[in-house]
Structure 1
Amino acid sequence: MSNDDNLARSNRILQYLRDELTVDVDERFMLMLMQQHQMLMEVGMSYLAGRTHTRTYLDREREVGHYRLFNDYFSDQPVYTDEMFRRRFQMRRELFLGIVEKLQNHSEYFPWRIDAMGRMDLSPLQKCTAALLQLAYGAPSDQSDEYLRLAETTAIDYLINFCKCVYEVFGDQYLRRPTVADTQHLLEMHERRHGFPDMLGSRNDINVLYESPLFNKVLEGGAPEVYFTINDTTYTKGYYLTDGIYPTWATFVKSFPYPKDPKRKKFKERQETARKDVERVFGVLQARWTIVRGPVRYWSRDILRDIMYTCIILHNMIIEDEGDAVSNWMGYEENHPTRVKQGFTPEFQEYLWRNCELCDSEIHHQLRVDLAEHI
């Protein structure tokens, strides 16, 4: 509505007040009504005069973005080779298409739809590619606008929904706890590579030790059993290589601070080499998914959790697809319902006993000495 139309409408209202109000009405009351109406109209007209339209519609021709993406990577004779696809998408084309298909079947957000104007929505390839580019390169949300033809807020929505759906679809398979067979494979792999028998892995962050659920299964008695013998001493738990800041638990093996004995010097060298090798796994994750390496972009913990889990899931999927997985998934593990018991139960006594055994410093020192002799 223009300013002239507003002024004409104001004059009609003023004339209506003059015609309808009789002489019996207090003139001061009529004058007050007209002054208030005039003041409101002046404020509204000044607001409309200074108002600017900041939102501009852009016809991005999203169909062009789909055809370009499809011809570059997904047609029968794509422009770019399989090696280029693997390097840019961090995975093989077949794996990426499998993820896209499962997300389409899982969520109504990813299939190709028709909008309110009767036009085709962005294709599933565009949606998943926009999310993957942000994960892999840590790119700004609007960087893919020119190529994929989507706005910044749209790209953010695709990233959030992509991570949420990947976690829901693939989380049970690629974030599951290791089985007995997985644990045995890990132990054999570490012994072949690092020379430490029955080593489970390495830890390098004391800040998350007491918040980590890593030892919950051990205390609950549900962790896979590990038995090994070194120097005629039998041990019943696997162990992790750590640095000197960690406590002297039976399941931690630290290096000697200032060794002078040749055996202990060799043990210190091998222990630190193996520990750094295992710790570089997170560096590999950061190199593959740059969004993990940079500062956080979102305030919601749920979104950050989904992004982190998605990077881990996709990493595990790539490892499995390329034949380097520790084990193949054979389906859901059987879950038995837990019955809640009250009082001082035998299970709680066993929990306390396992906790004391886990924190036994004598076993910690004895295991370190035996490993030094073994190596």
Structure 2
Amino acid sequence: MYPSSSYHLSPPGSPPSSSSSSSTSSEENARQERRRQKRVATYEAVRYMVNYMANNVIPLILVNYMSNNKERTYIERNREEGHARLFNDYFSENPVYPPQMFRRRFRMRKHLFLRIVEGVGAYDSHFQHKPDATGRLSLSPLIKCTKTLRLLAYGEAADRVDEYLRLGESTARKVLVRFLEAVIHQFGDEYLRRPTVQDLQRLLQVGAYRGFPGMLNKVMTTCIILHNMIVEDERDTYANYADYSEYENLHSQVQEAEYGAGYQIEIDRYIVNRDNLRSRNTHKALKKKLIEHIWQRFGDGN
């Protein structure tokens, strides 16, 4: 004998009770309704995204594509002629311009410039003189480094000497970016120092004005490295490489003072003026005023 069960088991295949069937049907309907609502919401979201892409994003992409793929005017600059002219002017055995003019225009001596050219060429093959896909020699590293150093030293426009160096504006900007990377990698560990506040203020203004707002760190770092390399190279030779050409006519332009026989120096005034010139307090006051003046002109970003 088995104990009687308190619940009833329906035999297999027997239909469910009416109450159970009604509950299952309502739950299934609720699930189907939720599925339908999700499908409708998904459809509306997809339709909105498609309409937004068709009305806003795709036209903008097409405009940018058309503007970037306009037919460009090709200019045959004859880069071989530019390299030959630059080489004969400064780097041949008997250059047109003497070492003093090289130092003044390149802001460094020739052997240091060639060291930089060799260093960046060792880091980046872009600064190596090699043939392109057509077999024609690319722009020489002398041209690329000369143009980049003039951009950094003089702040000139990217196409300032296009007719001389045969280097276009867009190419000059690309070369500048790669030159910064190469100099930092090759010479940074040896010549880098921390920038001063004045360095930051000046380079922030110059970088924004010249159209390089996102390159301040690399430009500043490269300029500091190059500056320290020049200082190390010339610290004991400034007197030998000084350029006095701009002062040749100075004596003829300045009139010498004439002193009469009855002229007497007022010794008291002389002592006061001399003390003022050598006064440390006066020096600090003038220095403070100069800093305030520079900040007002360049420090506020206007």
| TM-score normalised over the length of structure 2 | 0.51
Structure 1 position 309, deviation (Å): 0.6
Q: Does 1:319 align with 2:231?
A: yes
C-alpha separation in 2, matches of 1:71 and 1:81? 12
**What CA deviation, in whole Å up to 9, does each residue of 1:119-164 have, x standing for no partner?**
1100010110110110111111111210111111100011111111
Question: Quick one: which amino acid aligns to residue 95 of structure 1?
Answer: L
C-alpha separation in 1, matches of 2:164 and 2:216? 26
CA contact (8 A) 1:110 1:127 kept: yes
C-alpha separation in 2, matches of 1:296 and 1:60? 25
The SS at the match of 2:126 is coil
Aligned to 1:121: 138
Q: Does 1:76 align with 2:93?
A: yes
The equivalences for 1:1-375 within 5 A come to: 54-175=71-192, 292=206, 295-300=209-214, 303-323=215-235
More helix by share: 2
Give 4+ residue runs of structure 1 displaced > 4 Å after superposition: 291-294
Structure 1 position 299, deviation (Å): 3.4
**What CA deviation, in whole Å up to 9, does each residue of 1:78-118 have, x standing for no partner?**
01111111010000011000110111111111101211222
Higher Cα radius of gyration? 2
C-alpha separation in 2, matches of 1:73 and 1:79? 6
| TM-score normalised over the length of structure 1 | 0.41
C-alpha separation in 1, matches of 2:210 and 2:77? 29
CA 1:324–1:171 in structure 2 vs 1: closer, same or farther (change >3 Å)? farther
The SS at the match of 2:167 is coil
CA contact (8 A) 1:292 1:308 kept: no
The SS at the match of 1:109 is helix
CA contact (8 A) 2:158 2:173 kept: yes
C-alpha separation in 2, matches of 1:306 and 1:324? 29
Question: Quick one: which amino acid aligns to residue 234 of structure 2?
Answer: E
CA contact (8 A) 1:174 1:317 kept: yes
Q: How many residues in Structure 1 have an aligned counterpart in Structure 2? A: 168
Structure 1 position 298, deviation (Å): 1.8
CA contact (8 A) 2:155 2:210 kept: no
| Structure 1 residues without counterparts, runs of 5 or longer | 1-51, 178-202, 206-278, 326-375
| Structure 2 residues without counterparts, runs of 5 or longer | 1-68, 238-302
Taking only the aligned residue pairs, the percentage that are identical comes to 51
CA contact (8 A) 1:138 1:294 kept: no
Question: Quick one: which amino acid aligns to residue 72 of structure 2?
Answer: R
CA contact (8 A) 2:148 2:179 kept: yes
CA contact (8 A) 2:207 2:216 kept: no
**What CA deviation, in whole Å up to 9, does each residue of 1:320-356 have, x standing for no partner?**
001269xxxxxxxxxxxxxxxxxxxxxxxxxxxxxxx
Structure 1 position 292, deviation (Å): 4.6
C-alpha separation in 1, matches of 2:191 and 2:169? 30
Question: Quick one: which amino acid aligns to residue 63 of structure 1?
Answer: E
